[in-house]
Amino acid sequence: MRKRWPLLVLITVVLFAGGVLLLTPREEMAVVQGRRTSDWAMELLGPAPTEPAENVVRSFSAELAPDLIKLLRHHDSLLREPINTIARFLPRRLGVALHRTFKPNQPARHRLAAVLALGLMGTNAVTATPELSKALRDPDSNIRMYAAMALTRVGPVGIPGLIQALDDPSRRAREAAMGGLVQLGSDASPAISKLIHCLRTPNDTPFAHAALKSIGKPAVPALIELLSWDDLTIQCEAVRILGKIGSPARGAIPPILALAHHPAFELRRHVMTSLGRICFSCDSVPATLREALNDSHRDVRIAAAAQLRSDERIARETVTLLISDLRSGIAAKQASAVEALGRMGAWAVPAIPEVKAWQNLSAENSTLAEEAIRRIQNAAASTARGEIGDQEP
């Protein structure tokens, strides 16, 4: 009897599914260029080239949106999971035949086709906004993603749906909404306060980070406020985002500079990177970066050097100052200068004779000097070959 249960379940499912298929009426759809709107939408899923269907769907008028809304409302059958489960226990050919006959995944394909088509329609799909907002909670990740993209294309009316989803208890819905907000750039500024809240939720942090960075300058005041929080993780995220926003975040330079001597090296490292990205020429920035070349933590020194060598004028000035330190006669200062020169890339080539002279003063200097010279020469060789990229850490 135990061996027969899959067969009995299969027979029951087949009979029930057959009855459902017979009783399900075919929906009425408008006809465009000889084909139903739903057929054009399904063409967007492939496997044939999708460009012809994309061109037709882009031409859909607003009057055709209700047809696609019908597709978007197709719910998964109660038989989807049973059929998919049974198919896993059947020989491959029988499993394929079962799927072809009853198409348990077809409703999900309909919904995916609908969100793709509505996204191509742009503002002509504005009446689908409520259904697209609901689709942010769809169990299928592709449907959630493309629903969010469609909401960004229907116009300003689509933004509230994305913002509202940021309060959804489902992490998947929040992620989809933040993915859509990334596409809107500064137009997503009404979402800043909710995105700041999401930034504090570990699972949401990378998505909120991307959205706030995309918003850019309008998000700067809120991010500056986070710099004073007694939360290292939030401070690091805020500094990183401000650095990625770049020059529009110049107003954040003073509060970022105030964190240059923070006890946590992780934050100091992000501070150095962001200062260079936001404004090299701003007051105190070059000096702060040069001071960080003597930081107690290697990662901070590396981050500072990476920024200093990315600007020719500042890099040359920095190398000159380091050569002066190398000539100071103060052992600790000299050792620090040699290490820093080794991280200044090809700009430090003029310092090689000075490094060699310091190396000859003591056998203890040999290892550090050789390493610095090797780094400088490798960077110079890479530059000569026209290679672009960061120097070795």
Handedness of CA 26, 31, 34, 35 (dihedral sign): negative
Pairing of strands 35-36, 31-32: antiparallel
Report d(CA 372, CA 319) in Å as an integer: 13
- Look at 129 and 386; give whichever has higher pLDDT: 129
For residue 304, the tally of other CB atoms under 10 A from its CB is 29
pLDDT band at 19 (very low <50, low <70, confident <90, very high): very low
Token representation of residue 19: 């009855």
Least confident of 10-14, 228-232, 272-276: 10-14
pLDDT for 377: 94
pLDDT band at 385 (very low <50, low <70, confident <90, very high): confident
Q: Taking 50 as the threshold, does the pLDDT of residue 15 lie above it?
A: no
Q: Taking 60 as the threshold, does the pLDDT of residue 20 lie above it?
A: no
Residues 54-91 have pLDDT tens digits of 999 999 999 999 999 999 999 887 666 676 677 677 77
pLDDT band at 364 (very low <50, low <70, confident <90, very high): confident
Question: Does an H or E element contain 357, and which?
Answer: helix 352-359
Q: Taking 50 as the threshold, does the pLDDT of residue 343 lie above it?
A: yes
The model carries a pTM of: 0.82
- Look at 393 and 125; give whichever has higher pLDDT: 125
Q: Taking 60 as the threshold, does the pLDDT of residue 9 lie above it?
A: no
Q: b/e for 31-46, b at 16 or more Cβ within 10 A?
A: ebeeebbbebbbbbee
In contact, 209 and 241? CB cutoff 8 Å: yes
